[in-house]
Structures are given as structure tokens and as C-alpha cells.
Amino acid sequence: MTKKDLKMYMSLKCEEREVTECIRRLETELTKLEGTQESDVVACGRRGKKALGTVKITGFPDRKYQDRRTKLISSQLRHKTLLEKIEEQTEAIEEYICAIEDSEVRRILRFRVMGTRAMSWQEVANHMNRYGGCYTADSCRMIVTRFLRS
């Protein structure tokens, strides 16, 4: 396990949140489109340069709806694939972190990498200081950097 693997894992989790947000937005757009009708005014034809008249056309925006629906389906498939990748990496990373003998490094990595979102180094330091520590964001970062180098 390297620093690169941990960064990749955190990046995948961020990407998963972005895809989830995109899916939510598309679902909202589709819901709004389902009950709508669009209108347009078109010319009936021309005789020379003069228009013969205009007609108002009203109907369901089917093309727009289908485009959004197709985009939603592809986003959902991408989301499913991404979740599978994250699940595989999560298992590997959790096993790796749990196998670390140094409690301090294990706790810092658990705060930084695991959980619903990756914590910033400052947040990690704050959590480490809750139980009587004297950590800064830089000290936490350096502890992990030194550990991953060895």
C-alpha cells in the first residue's frame, strides 16, 4: 500500500459523491419534465417572401426527455461500476490499516481515509487532540508520510 493508493481511494470516494449528485440532478430534471408541455410557433409555408401563416404547436418535449433519460441511465451504470471499485479498494485499505502495528499511525489513517468523507489534515489533528494529544495538521501529515516511506 502506498500513498498513491490512499490518494486514489480518496479520489474515488469524491468522484462517487459527484456522480451521485449528478444522478440526483438528472432525476429532478426528469421529474420536472414529466408534467410539462412545450409550445412553439412555426410558419405554415411561404409564397415568395411572404409567410402563409403561423401555427402554434404544443406537446411533450420527448427529445429533451429522452436525452436526459439516456444520460441518467449511463450515469447510473457508471455509478454502479464506481461503487464496485470503491468496495474492492475499501476492503483492501481497511485490511491494510487494521494490520498496522503503530496505533498512532493507524488512528491517523483511519480518520484521514476511512469514513463517509476524507477528513482534512486539520480535522485529523483535532480528532487526535481530543484524547490528550498535541498534534498539528503538519505533524499528522508527516507521521503518515514517514510511515509510508518506511
Integer Cα distance of 53 and 55 in angstroms: 7
**102 pLDDT higher than 80:** yes
Cβ contacts of 93 within 8 Å, gap of 6 or more:
1, 5, 6, 9, 113, 114
Tens-place pLDDT, residues 47-78: 777 777 888 877 777 787 788 888 888 888 88
Indicate the pTM of the whole model: 0.58
Q: Is the pLDDT of residue 35 over 70?
A: yes
User: Which pLDDT belongs to residue 138?
Assistant: 95
Instruction: Read off the pLDDT of each residue in 109-138 and give the average, rounded to a whole number.
Output: 86
pLDDT of the residue at 116: 65
Tens digit of each residue's pLDDT (9 = 90 or more) over 72-88: 888 888 888 888 887 88
Concatenated DSSP letters of 27-58: HHHHHHHHT--EEEEEE--EETTEE--EEEEE
Rounded to the nearest integer, the mean pLDDT of the chain is 83
Q: Averaged over 25-45, what is the pLDDT?
A: 79
- pLDDT reported for residue 8: 79
Q: pLDDT digit string (tens) for 129-143?
A: 988 888 999 999 999
Report the first-to-last Cα separation within the chain, whole angstroms: 11
